[in-house]
């Protein structure tokens, strides 16, 4: 008999065992359990055919059609699955609801000499667990600062120095601004972004503080889960105050070697917000490769937008921290000392 694991047990086992996702390629491509390997029982067209047959002729006819479609693929399913864990020969399998697709696949593997178990309730149950996890209270600290302050580098340095972090922009493949997609891989769907954030949360000690960068609810096309977003908005903010000249220098270093047309396109996308004259001046500066002027002009807009968002928070939770040089390692040390002092006051334990 094939064993079915509840979600948390399944995910614990997945830390050492491969996961096989037998849903259709389209389902997998939209979103999946991080780390899962796609070995679809049906391709997209076949899945549609079986679904139509089920609607029009009932379960028995759909099962017969499914068997006729799957039959020629059985040997290949076993070969692909054995490659995932050739020594241990144990794998995890799931489908959408934890029903016939995963049970049939697991039975096949079990018959072929592998040990296969499934996810009770399937991907649907997993998603319910993911969404529920975002409602659980966390000890969050928010790293704030205007555009170009180097928050992502500081966040990574905090991790190197032993702090717990979640790099939301890294998971979303986007740096947050209109220029944020330049040089990045394609963004995941919001559902997959949520799965990735949940995976990170599971790996962290919930009794200890977690640092996140201050973000608007949307990071490019990805949206931060609303319960987590509310917790972020209610959390203390360490606002690193970096000079504009320092920020301009950092942005020039970051964007100067990027495709010129991508920078033009990104600048034109915020024309209404920048205003006609500033947009023209910025585009003229781009034609001269004067990236410092472009950064200086656009930062005026981004600074106003960021400070407006910051003003919507409880002022008592915003703690300005003056940074004298662009040195992420030293800034991280300063932030850790601030956080330890903050915790010592009994505000955050």
Q: Which long-range contacts (CB under 8 A, 24 or more apart) does 252-256 make?
A: 252/291, 252/292, 252/295, 255/179, 255/182, 255/291, 255/295, 256/289, 256/291
Residues 6+ apart with CB under 8 A from 111: none
| Helix ranges (DSSP H) in the chain | 7-13, 25-30, 44-57, 59-70, 74-84, 100-111, 122-133, 151-160, 168-172, 190-202, 226-233, 244-255, 260-269, 271-274, 276-287, 291-311, 328-344
Return the H-helix or E-strand segment holding 289. Answer: none
Q: Encoding tokens for residue 189? A: 């769907």
Q: Is 222 a catalytic residue?
A: no
Question: Which is catalytic among the residues 22, 95, 238, 251?
Answer: 95
Closest by Cα among 252, 238, 339, 348 to 295: 252
Query: Angle between the 260-269 and 291-311 helix axes, to the nearest 10 degrees?
Result: 40
Return the H-helix or E-strand segment holding 117. Answer: strand 115-119
Rounded CA gap, 139 and 178, in Å?
Answer: 30
Residues 6+ apart with CB under 8 A from 324: none
* Residues with a known catalytic role: 95
């Amino acid at each position: 008999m094939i064993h079915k694991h509840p979600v948390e047990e399944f995910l614990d086992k997945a830390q050492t065992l491969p996961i096989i996702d037998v849903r259709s390629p389209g389902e997998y491509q939209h979103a999946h359990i991080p780390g899962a390997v796609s070995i679809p029982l049906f391709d997209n067209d076949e899945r549609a055919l079986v679904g139509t047959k089920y609607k029009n002729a009932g379960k028995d006819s759909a099962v017969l059609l499914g068997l006729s479609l799957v039959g020629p693929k059985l040997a290949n399913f076993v070969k692909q699955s054995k490659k995932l864990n050739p020594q241990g020969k144990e794998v995890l399998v799931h489908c959408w609801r934890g029903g016939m697709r995963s049970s049939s696949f697991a039975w096949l593997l079990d018959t072929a000499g592998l040990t296969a178990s499934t996810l009770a309730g399937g991907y649907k149950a997993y998603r319910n667990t993911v969404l529920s996890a975002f409602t659980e209270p966390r000890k969050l600290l928010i790293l704030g600062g205007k555009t170009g302050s180097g928050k992502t580098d500081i966040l990574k340095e905090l991790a190197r120095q032993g702090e717990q972090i979640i790099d939301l922009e890294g998971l979303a493949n986007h740096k947050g601004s209109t220029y944020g997609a330049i040089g990045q891989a394609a963004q995941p769907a919001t559902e997959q972004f949520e799965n990735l954030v949940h995976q990170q949360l599971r790996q962290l000690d919930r009794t200890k503080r977690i640092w996140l960068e201050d973000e608007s609810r949307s990071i490019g096309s990805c949206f931060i889960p609303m319960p987590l977003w509310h917790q972020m908005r209610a959390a203390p903010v360490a606002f690193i105050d970096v000079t504009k000249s320092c920020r301009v220098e950092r942005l020039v270093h970051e964007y100067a070697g990027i495709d010129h047309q991508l920078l033009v396109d990104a600048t034109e996308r915020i024309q209404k917000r920048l205003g006609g004259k500033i947009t023209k001046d910025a585009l003229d500066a781009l034609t001269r490769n004067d990236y410092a002027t472009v950064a200086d002009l656009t930062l005026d807009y981004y600074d106003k937008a960021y400070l407006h968002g910051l003003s919507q928070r409880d002022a008592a939770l915003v703690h300005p921290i003056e940074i004298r040089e662009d040195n992420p390692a030293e800034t991280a040390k300063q932030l850790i000392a601030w956080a330890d002092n903050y915790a010592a006051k009994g505000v955050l334990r």
